């Protein structure tokens, strides 16, 4: 496995959009509110087939994230990421290969890989050049109710043995987040905990603040 420095940009609150929770006419404002609250990474996730709308929305979010100097990733869609000048892409088991994403987006692109509850998938992703790996779900998730359940021990091992940042995802709330950070999660990826909140900015601020709180005690 190639050892390399962890990318310091890949840390903190990582918000993922969901068209079922955030209507199109509120998407930009919702993402901006999350960024004001402390989100450092934004992923555009839309599984629909409306390519024109997806391109418009992704381009608009790229503009917002660029204004605030936060990372912008696209879920699954390598071509869309390239079209809007995203910082990178996040891919899962059923998506395009990491090699294809790297070839299309270039050496400087950030490529994250879903590894579910499997350390072996994370090892393989790192060997193939992933910039970060994601494990989950750690808790019951509205978005993916049937997702495999990852464990705290998996986070501890990944943080100790892998040379890239580690992301935790799946049903994470403010109450449940601290043990994940203590176990080694560099990033917490959330959807509902931020975008279903009545006050998106405040919800993001509470989650983002947990990193400072936990690290100040370590």
Q: Catalytic amino acids?
A: 45, 114, 144
What's residue 2's pLDDT? 39
What six digits make up the tokens of 30? 């919702």
What's residue 216's pLDDT? 66
User: String of b and e for 69-87 (b: at least 16 CB within 10 Å)?
Assistant: ebbbbbbbbbebbbbbebb
What's residue 148's pLDDT? 84
E strand or H helix that includes residue 213: helix 200-217
Q: Which of 47, 45, 36 is nearest to 13 (CA)?
A: 36
Question: Do 195 and 17 touch, CB atoms closer than 8 A?
Answer: yes
Question: In order along the chain (218 residues), what is the average pLDDT of each group of 10 residues?
Answer: 64 95 94 98 94 97 98 97 98 88 96 97 96 95 80 96 97 96 97 97 98 76
Domains of the chain by range and CATH? 12-217 (3.20.20.70)
pTM: predicted TM-score of the whole model, two decimal places = 0.94
What's residue 141's pLDDT? 77
What's residue 218's pLDDT? 58
What's residue 94's pLDDT? 80
Using only the alpha carbons of the chain, give its radius of gyration: 16
């Amino acid at each position: 496995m190639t050892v390399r420095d962890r990318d310091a940009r890949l840390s903190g609150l990582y918000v993922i959009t969901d068209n079922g929770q955030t209507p199109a006419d509120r998407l930009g404002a919702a993402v901006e509110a999350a960024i004001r609250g402390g989100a450092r990474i934004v992923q555009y996730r839309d599984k629909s087939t409306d390519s024109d709308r997806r391109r418009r929305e992704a381009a608009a979010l790229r503009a917002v994230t660029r204004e605030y100097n936060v990372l912008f990733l696209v879920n699954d869609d390598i071509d869309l990421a390239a079209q809007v000048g995203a910082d990178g892409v996040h891919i899962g088991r059923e998506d395009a290969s990491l090699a294809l994403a790297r070839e299309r987006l270039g050496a400087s692109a950030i490529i994250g890989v879903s590894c579910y509850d499997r350390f072996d998938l994370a090892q393989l992703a790192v060997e193939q050049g992933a910039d970060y790996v994601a494990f989950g779900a750690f808790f019951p998730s509205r978005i993916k109710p049937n997702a495999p359940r990852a464990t705290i021990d998996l986070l501890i091992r990944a943080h100790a043995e892998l040379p890239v940042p580690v992301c935790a995802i799946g049903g994470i709330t403010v109450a449940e987040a601290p043990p994940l950070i203590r176990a080694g999660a560099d990033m917490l990826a959330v959807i509902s905990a931020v975008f279903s909140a009545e006050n998106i900015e405040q919800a993001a601020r509470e989650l983002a603040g947990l990193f400072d709180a936990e690290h100040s005690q370590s």
